[in-house]
Structure 1
């Protein structure tokens, strides 16, 4: 077809299908172009005349018309070719889809099996990760746990075994989780022990202060009158000692209360005796010494203090014997 195109009429007679094939190479139109060129340039019109100039324009229009005609044939061939390409592409797409469907049908049993395996693997991993999360949660404390509860948590972590069989590729994560949980629980135990120690120390001090306050009851009553001493004694006798508060020192508190009541009784009796009229006293002849009133009152108060100390068992206190020995030495 390439060598058979020699004139414009042959080109115009081509169908779109044959034109597309004919114009596969630019050399197919060389003879047609050459024919148009020879015809257009074979004349040499006189440009000096109007007719000659019009002839030049006529030849140029004929060349343009030839070009338009050939290009139109080529365009029609291209449109037809594009239509054919589109149809071929549609066929191509259909082939791809059909073969893809066949391939999917072939792969479906294996894909379904793989999906099940993936679900099982996901469940396996989630199960292990959930157990690791539980290990982490064991170490989470609120600060409100008792020491016994914390010790139970520590024991549970201590008894927990981390093996490759149980945690597979997450064994390292499980060991780290256990280590961190143990550290958090141990830290909480240390804080709890420190807080308990401080609480016990404060409680022990409170118990000591309470027992000392009971022991000093008679001392506080030295400057009071008989009625006030009796009232204080009655209040102390009605005082209930809390077993929970005193704990192991309850006996000590009971003893202190008993001693204080006895001291108050002695102090009240002594104050009553000192308040009796002189004529009711049977006295043996004795030498009299005149002393100022303030010194007399001071000696009375010191005597009451001594009686209270003796009633409390001062002779059993540490240093009592040394004090008596020093007093005897000074008197000698």
Structure 2
């Protein structure tokens, strides 16, 4: 290697000295020079400054590569007679520089991958807390109590790292929603139990009323049957008396008929009188029986009317209870729909925020890879997102 070649640096490459540089093995000294620039220090990955330094060194490799590649490409186009040698040399140079760039950046790349995996684990853990609030509409109070206990058991601490605030907010929000759902569910279950109890009491009362009415009707029937039996016995006694008296009268008349023919007319008159009295007595008995039957029918009609009125009252109370229950269920459905809409809007805002954060992160990484420091890249993205840079915007 000549003295002129030894003192030429990457910044000195030009069209004039290109023929002495872009030859077989002529670029190796530049690879060594770049290695000395970027491999002479070991930045600390634990600090942001160290990570930024690695990104800067990696970007310097790309810059140095371009400083050699561009004049080399120009020289290659200039000398058509030696394309293969220059192309092979440049290809080897580019591959080596790319490998060097990747090798230099590998610790940062590995660290970023590990850090992203760590963040993903925390994000998944925070989402797991939010997932306890998914579809609370048909969950019973016992399950809600178990969910609340599970969320309350989530411990906050340093193991959450920078996600502790998000985890605490998620825990608080989830517990608030679960407790509100538990209160509503307990109230609903208590109301359902009360409705069951009221229905059971109404059915029991109706059963008692039916049994009491059956017993009263049976007693009334027994009373009527007893009165009918007593009336029949009275009728039979009257008839027996009448029959006995008739027999006695006939016997007496027969005895007197032979003795006193003249008294026959008087005896006949006496019999006629007795028969008239018997007919009058029988007519009285028949009238009384018909009166009692009419009274019994009137009482039966009154009882039926009372039963119909009571049944109408029970039906009216049932319809009122059903109307009140339907109104309460409609209010609960409206409140649940409003809560679902609030949750949907919050989820949409969180998704939009996460989407924009990913795009901003990708833009930040591109700026840093292009040679900007992370602080400058963040400021640039912020200004663009706030539309303070004319004719430039971020597409979300």
- Judging by fraction of residues, say which structure has more helix: 2
Larger radius of gyration: 1
Fold shared by both chains (TM-score > 0.5): no
Measured against the shorter chain, the TM-score band is 0.3 to 0.5
TM-score normalized with structure 1 length: 0.42
